Amino acid sequence: MRTKACIFDLDGVIVDTAKYHYMAWKRLTEKLGITFTVTDNERLKGVSRMASLDIILEIGGRKLTMPEKQELAAQKNEWYVEYINMMTPGEILPGASEFIDELKRNNIRVALGSASKNTPLILERVGMNHVFDAIADGNNVTKAKPDPEVFTKAAELAGVEITGCVVFEDAIAGVEAALNAGMICIGIGDPSVLKDAHLVVKGLHEMNLDKLISLEKRLGNEGII
Ligand code: BG6
Ligand code: MG
């Protein structure tokens, strides 16, 4: 098999933390008197903490200084950490653990590529802190998706060539990051949104090794890889 490592985004692929990000941003926007909807929240998927705040301030038509923004981002994170501290292994998304186990049984490495600085806490709360062979996250990567850094770093830490990596992503910026890295990308979500991914599935419960092998064959026949 060409695939030697699968790199997973965390938020929205392994766990559904988008609702906790939304709850924390909602609390902040209420304090600021900015109207913030679930639809607005979609724009924040895969986007770093500070860039998310910038989008919210743009929605509210506000301009703040850097120290003010840092204070607000810290406040949001305090609330977010309160929520994720209560997460349990029951919040791992359907099929994620099963697919990861199947990959490991077949000697395919599993890595994480996330923008979140809270990755270690989330993994610990859901009991997955010993699952991944390599972790690239907001703590050891500086350039935000769609920059490929988070995925190239994950590949490097896993000891696998770029051409041997397949990325699983739920955010448009994340799909672009994977493609910018020169990797195969499987989108998690809606095909009409994740248009550029090589394949889109609803969740990891729809994934298995056979599907991965078929995708490799299809892309090979189409001359894409
Ligand atoms: C991404 C999420 O995984 O991490 C974003 O999709 C979030 O919504 C980003 O803003 C940064 O997360 P954190 O935990 O460092 O604030
Ligand atoms: Mg995500």
SS3 184: strand
Round to whole Å and give the CA distance between 199 and 207: 11
Predicted model pTM:
0.95
Q: How far is C-alpha 202 from the geometric centre of its chain's CA atoms?
A: 15
**CA 36 to centroid of ligand 2, rounded, Å:** 20
* Short-list 92, 91, 193, 73, CA closest to 138: 73
Q: How far is CA 93 from CA 9, 16, 28, 63, in A?
A: 12, 7, 27, 37
> Is residue 151 a contact partner of residue 113, using CB atoms and an 8 Å limit?
yes
- Looking at residue 67, its amino acid is P
Q: How far is C-alpha 114 from the geometric centre of its chain's CA atoms?
A: 5
* Low pLDDT (below 50) residues in the chain: none
Cross-strand bridge partners of residue 185: 167
> Is residue 160 a contact partner of residue 1, using CB atoms and an 8 Å limit?
no
Q: Which residues are catalytic?
A: 9, 11
Residue position matching structure tokens 């609702």: 19
SS3 171: coil
Closest ligand 1 atom, CA of 11? 3
Q: What secondary structure letter does DSSP report for 143?
A: S
Closest ligand 1 atom, CA of 76? 16
Mutate to test the pocket of ligand 1, among 10, 21, 139, 140 (most ligand atoms within 8 A of CB): 21
Q: What is the DSSP string of 90-144?
A: GGBPTTHHHHHHHHHHTT-EEEEE-S-TTHHHHHHHTT-TTT-SEEE-TTT--SP
- In this structure, the residue with its CA closest to atom 8 of ligand 1 is 45
- In this structure, the residue with its CA closest to atom 4 of ligand 1 is 116
Closest ligand 1 atom, CA of 170? 6
